[in-house]
Amino acid sequence: MIGGGLAGLSSAVALADAGLQVRLFEKRPHLGGRATSYTLPDGSEVDNCQHVTLGCCTNLADFYRRAGADSKVRFYDRLYFADRQGRRSTMEASALLPPPLHMAPSFLFFGALSFADRRAIAKALLAIARSGGSPQDIEGISMLDWLRRMKQTRGAIERFWRVVLVSALDEELDRTDARYGIDVFWKAFLGSRGGYRVGIPSVPLADLYEGCREAIVRRGGEVKLRAGVREIRVCDGQFKCAVLEDGTEVAADVCIAAVPHATLPGLVPKQLSEAGAPLGDVSRIRTAPITGVHFWFDRAVMTEPFLTLLDHTTQWIFNKSKLYQVESNGAGGASDLVDSRRTQYLQLVISASYDLVPRSRREIIDLCRRELLDVLPATRDAELVKATVIKEVHATFSPEPGVDRWRPAQDIGVRNLYLAGDWTRTGWPATMEGAARSGYLAAEAALAAMGRPQRFLQPDLPLEGLSKHWAQRVKSTRP
Ligand SMILES: Cc1cc2nc3c(=O)[nH]c(=O)nc-3n(C[C@H](O)[C@H](O)[C@H](O)COP(=O)(O)OP(=O)(O)OC[C@H]3O[C@@H](n4cnc5c(N)ncnc54)[C@H](O)[C@@H]3O)c2cc1C
């Protein structure tokens, strides 16, 4: 296994569970790839960026279970929003109404939207639900094109569609394939009651992967950190060996390359990455940035566990002190306690942060602090003890219209060499779920080639209510 991000780890743990001896080589000194945490020089541990999962991410949930990390991710049923004036709205599922109507009561009372906005949104959501999540004629168009086609108001686009999708997909609506945007709403908000639930780790991200090493070693495998691979050798259309940066050659029955899409072409023979070859189009996949801003205040300034912001550059604020406290209390999050004698640690997230990339750290901190005054007035008198900005310029691949044609599948026609990575052809956008899916698909392909087929891929959440009925109807009427 080359690469110890979520794709490599999910694949390695599944293969170890299937009884294989896995040797995992990771270039960096820690596991988790982009979804990890590390210690700053002053001793504080920070996530590379806050990562959240959703109830509909069934493969990631399965991976966390295998890694013994599922109890370290807490799910929240209520979503919190704040507008420019700091007014709060919430959204949660009603237990009384069947999907796709289960979010309707929250939506009706969602103060940030006008009646016209709500009517337009309801019409578009119904169109998605009635089509079983697959409206027709969306091939190659952007989400913004589809929203215009559905006659969405400006308020609906800015304060609803954009708010959900830019953070879910890390891209602006005009650069997002409509299929991805529609899928988010179908899988998270319309198809089933629990798809929208937000899962947030109650520990630093790296702590989620402690069980992976154990699972691999238990089966006689090994995990090597600071062990970058510089070359994948292929001979007669078959994987031969991986060459580590120190020159060691590592042979194996099967190799899974779970490295980022920009890295892989540099590791394989030219014949695989030149024009017309299986990896010839990978370099066309573009990336989008995410900026994380970490603030430590000298006192409590926020009570909610997290907040989604409308009409601001900042999109999410995570109350890390509270999210971690859930773990240390063992209280399951029931408590609203924030220890006012201690600092409070917040993490802000800005996806598709193209405008922030050229800005200085100071400018970004000032901008975010100004925005906090709108929604967390207690920050006015609080002292900002420490601040860190982490810009991930190539955070995720851009889900631009038509991007799927550049994404290779796990099997690229080289015997005993398979690919994993959120960027491979999983049907999902660049998410931890996409990475876990790719890892499971690669593990399935490897075992099938060894004559030991096994299934790891998890089904989506079962459809419920009217959504299930409509999806079945569409399936039976479409060719
Ligand atoms: C800032 C940010 C915020 C995000 N927020 C979310 C979120 O909230 N929810 C969500 O679902 N997703 C989120 N994502 C996306 C998520 O992190 C990725 O989709 C997922 O982690 C990708 O996993 P991967 O294993 O495919 O790739 P990576 O995590 O990139 O793993 C690849 C691994 O390969 C290693 N490697 C590279 N070259 C070599 C080599 N030559 N030899 C050996 N090893 C090598 C790398 O060091 C790395 O560990 C976010 C991403 C970023 C950057």
Q: Which residue has the higher pLDDT, 339 or 431?
A: 431
The answer, yes or no, to whether any atom of ligand 1 lies below 6 A from the CB of 5, is yes
The answer, yes or no, to whether any atom of ligand 1 lies below 6 A from the CB of 190, is no
Query: What number does the ligand 1 atom closest to the CA of 34 have?
Result: 29
The whole-number pLDDT of residue 335 equals 35
Kindly give, in sequence order, each residue whose CB lies less than 8 Å from that of residue 211, ignoring residues fewer than 6 positions away.
Answer: 66, 67, 68, 69
Q: Is the pLDDT of residue 330 over 70?
A: no
Alpha carbons 61 and 214: distance in angstroms, whole number: 18
The answer, yes or no, to whether any atom of ligand 1 lies below 6 A from the CB of 6, is yes
Pocket test for ligand 1, best of 47, 51, 245, 285 (most atoms within 8 A of CB): 51
Nearest CA among 397, 169, 354, 395 for reference residue 261: 397
The answer, yes or no, to whether any atom of ligand 1 lies below 6 A from the CB of 435, is yes
The answer, yes or no, to whether any atom of ligand 1 lies below 6 A from the CB of 72, is no
Nearest CA among 302, 415, 393, 420 for reference residue 6: 420
The answer, yes or no, to whether any atom of ligand 1 lies below 6 A from the CB of 52, is yes
Q: How far is the CA of 349 from the centre of ligand 1 (A)?
A: 17
Q: Give the tens place of pLDDT for each residue, 43-90.
A: 889 999 999 999 999 999 999 999 999 999 999 999 999 999 999 999
Whether omega for the bond prior to residue 100 falls within 30 degrees of 0, making it cis, is yes
The answer, yes or no, to whether any atom of ligand 1 lies below 6 A from the CB of 431, is yes
Query: What number does the ligand 1 atom closest to the CA of 422 have?
Result: 26
Report which residue type is found at 379.
Answer: T
Q: How far is the CA of 438 from the centre of ligand 1 (A)?
A: 12
In the numeric block, the tokens 């899928």 are attached to 183
The DSSP annotation for 26-66 comes to -SSSSSSTTS-EEE-TTS-EEESS---EETT-HHHHHHHHH
Q: What are phi and psi of 303, to 5 degrees?
A: -105, -30
The whole-number pLDDT of residue 225 equals 98
The answer, yes or no, to whether any atom of ligand 1 lies below 6 A from the CB of 168, is no
Q: Give the tens place of pLDDT for each residue, 102-141.
A: 999 998 888 889 999 999 999 999 999 999 999 999 999 9
